[in-house]
């Protein structure tokens, strides 16, 4: 019964991700062709800047909230209300910080300032993504996936309309915030329809403090994760130029698609992992072993395919003006193997209450990424940034396990998965 629910939930999560992947790639690369590498680079530079600063708005609460919902179902309205309130306030702070960062980094570039401001407006609206966590805890993604799919398709149609009307660059940044608003409305509607408990929501100081006390290591690590996910595009824009950011962003768009299946599997499996950890530690260890092996197998499959097909994929999706992005795509897809393993390890650590180790592992990866980008970007541009990502994704997800005694058993488990990804 549990396996059936897990499979069904993973199926709904994958349906959501496939829809977003196909529609998102279509519109993203239509936009890339429409704007050209330079303007597309400006768009992605501002997006990276807003998402880096905006990452504080999540407050690292995702897995903490799911864990608390699984442990204490009657307290769900209070847990969700407190988490959403914390995220909304943090999102407002993020808007101000992102705007300030744009002014400091590009003081004479009004376009970057306006793009960053528009993108960052989505941060406070992301507070309502907290409702997704309730459906994760119930291992029932269907209602929220259906609601968010409708909102996503509406936003996608708006983007298509702007492309057909040859709208200016700023209009597409405005749609980003509009999509967040539609997603918030969809999440509220799905939650209320499924539970009818929205009227029971009560935000309490005690609950908010409890959530923050459990999540503070993840706040810092979440910021650092976004740092080494987005700093490459920011550094490329500062050190080389927006055109190089455009080439690199085209490769990133494709590479980001491949970890979606592993992420969906880990997300769907997490509530049952928490429950199994409490009831049957031996069975929990076996489930974790298989999870690492499955994620590694999927990562290898994607990396091998892209290593052969990268030039064709870039030409098909982005066009000949982005041909230089093909080797970047190959390196970034191999890096996604380790990012997928990192997601699985995060679920493992959270289930084991090892969240205090997150900041250490991510800090090591972030520092290495900034240093390598600083060294490699001036010589190799986007290719250097991709090399830096490949090394630091491995370091943060796997290499750091051998630096911390508590994570060495996890490191050995991940090594076995990489050497022989037998998940059956």
pLDDT for residue 58: 74
Range of the domain at 240: 2-419
Q: For residue 1, give the DSSP letter.
A: -
pLDDT tens-digit map of 113-128: 999 999 998 888 887 7
More confident: 132 or 304: 304
Structural domain total, the chain = 1
Residue 1 pLDDT > 60, yes or no? no
Among left, alpha and beta (phi > 0; psi -120 to 50; other), residue 139 is left
pLDDT for residue 9: 58
Tallying the residues shown for the chain, one arrives at 424
Quick check: is 184 in a domain? yes
Quick check: is 296 in a domain? yes
pLDDT for residue 89: 86
Structure tokens at 210: 């409890």
pLDDT tens-digit map of 362-410: 888 888 999 999 999 999 999 999 999 999 999 988 999 898 888 888 8
Give φ, ψ of 395 to 5 degrees.
Answer: -60, -50
List strand residue ranges (DSSP E) for 96-158, in order: none
Q: For a pLDDT cut of 70, what percent of the chain falls above it?
A: 88
Dmax (CA) for the chain in angstroms is: 60
Quick check: is 424 in a domain? no
At residue 6 the predicted structure's pLDDT band, cuts being 50, 70 and 90, is: low
Q: What is the mean pLDDT of residues 312-334?
A: 91
Contact by Cβ (8 Å): 61, 87: yes
Neighbours of 213 (CB within 10 A): 9
What does R_g of the chain's alpha carbons equal in angstroms? 21
pLDDT for residue 290: 83
- Which of 241, 227, 255 lies closest to 377, judged by CA? 241
Contact by Cβ (8 Å): 365, 224: yes
Residue 333 pLDDT > 80, yes or no? yes
Neighbours of 167 (CB within 10 A): 15
pLDDT for residue 94: 87
Quick check: is 170 in a domain? yes
Q: What is the mean pLDDT of residues 275-296?
A: 79
pLDDT tens-digit map of 169-184: 899 888 888 888 888 8
pLDDT tens-digit map of 362-373: 888 888 999 999
pLDDT tens-digit map of 337-347: 998 888 888 87
Helices (H), 55-75: 62-71
Torsion over CA: 413, 414, 420, 421 (sign): positive
> Range with the lowest mean pLDDT among 34-38, 45-49, 229-233, 328-332?
229-233
Residue 5 pLDDT > 70, yes or no? no
Write 327-331 long-range contacts (CB < 8 A, 24+): 327/383, 327/386, 328/247, 328/248, 328/251, 328/382, 328/383, 328/385, 328/386, 329/251, 329/254, 329/255, 330/306, 331/383, 331/386, 331/387, 331/389, 331/390
Q: How many helices (H) and strands (E) does the chain have?
A: 16, 0
pLDDT averaged over every residue in the chain: 82
pTM: 0.77
Contact residues for 242 (Cβ-Cβ < 8 A; gap 6+): 37, 38, 39, 41, 42, 45
Contact residues for 287 (Cβ-Cβ < 8 A; gap 6+): 269, 272, 273, 276
pLDDT for residue 287: 78
pLDDT tens-digit map of 13-42: 666 667 777 777 788 888 888 988 999 999
């Amino acid at each position: 019964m549990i396996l059936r629910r897990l499979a069904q939930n993973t199926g709904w999560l994958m349906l959501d991700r496939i829809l977003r992947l196909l529609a998102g790639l279509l519109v993203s690369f239509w936009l890339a062709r429409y704007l050209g590498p330079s303007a597309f680079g400006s768009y992605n530079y501002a997006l990276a800047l807003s998402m880096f600063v905006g990452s504080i708005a999540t407050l690292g609460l995702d897995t903490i909230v799911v864990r608390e919902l699984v442990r204490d179902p009657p307290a769900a309205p209070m847990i969700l209300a407190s988490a959403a309130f914390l995220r909304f306030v943090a999102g407002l702070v993020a808007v101000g910080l992102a705007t300030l960062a744009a002014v400091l980094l590009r003081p004479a570039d009004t376009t970057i300032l306006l793009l960053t401001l528009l993108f960052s407006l989505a941060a406070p609206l992301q507070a309502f993504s907290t409702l997704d966590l309730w459906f994760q805890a119930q291992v029932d993604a269907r209602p929220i996936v259906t609601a968010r799919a409708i909102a996503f398709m509406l936003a996608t149609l708006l983007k298509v309309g702007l492309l057909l009307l040859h709208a200016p660059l700023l209009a597409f940044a405005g749609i980003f915030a509009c999509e967040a608003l539609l997603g918030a409305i969809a999440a509220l509607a799905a939650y209320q329809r499924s539970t009818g408990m929205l009227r029971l929501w009560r935000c309490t100081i005690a609950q908010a403090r409890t959530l923050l006390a459990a999540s503070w290591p993840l706040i810092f690590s979440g910021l650092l994760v976004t740092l080494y996910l987005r700093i490459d595009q920011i550094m490329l824009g500062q050190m080389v130029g927006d055109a190089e950011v455009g080439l690199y962003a085209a490769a990133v768009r494709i590479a980001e698609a491949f970890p979606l299946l592993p992420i969906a599997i880990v997300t769907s499996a997490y509530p049952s992992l928490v429950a199994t950890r409490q009831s049957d530690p031996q069975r929990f260890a076996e489930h974790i072993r298989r999870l690492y092996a499955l994620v590694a197998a999927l990562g290898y499959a994607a990396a091998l395919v892209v290593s052969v097909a990268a030039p064709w994929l870039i030409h098909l999706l982005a066009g000949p003006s982005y041909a230089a992005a093909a080797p970047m795509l190959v390196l970034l897809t191999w890096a996604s193997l380790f990012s997928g393993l990192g997601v699985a390890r995060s679920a493992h650590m959270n289930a084991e209450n090892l969240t205090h180790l997150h900041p250490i592992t991510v800090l090591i990866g972030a520092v290495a990424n900034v240093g390598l980008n600083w060294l490699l970007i001036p010589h190799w541009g986007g290719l250097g940034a991709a090399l830096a990502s490949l090394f630091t994704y491995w370091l943060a997800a796997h290499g750091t396990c051998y630096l911390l005694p508590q994570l060495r058993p996890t490191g050995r488990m991940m090594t076995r998965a990489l050497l022989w990804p037998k998940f059956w």
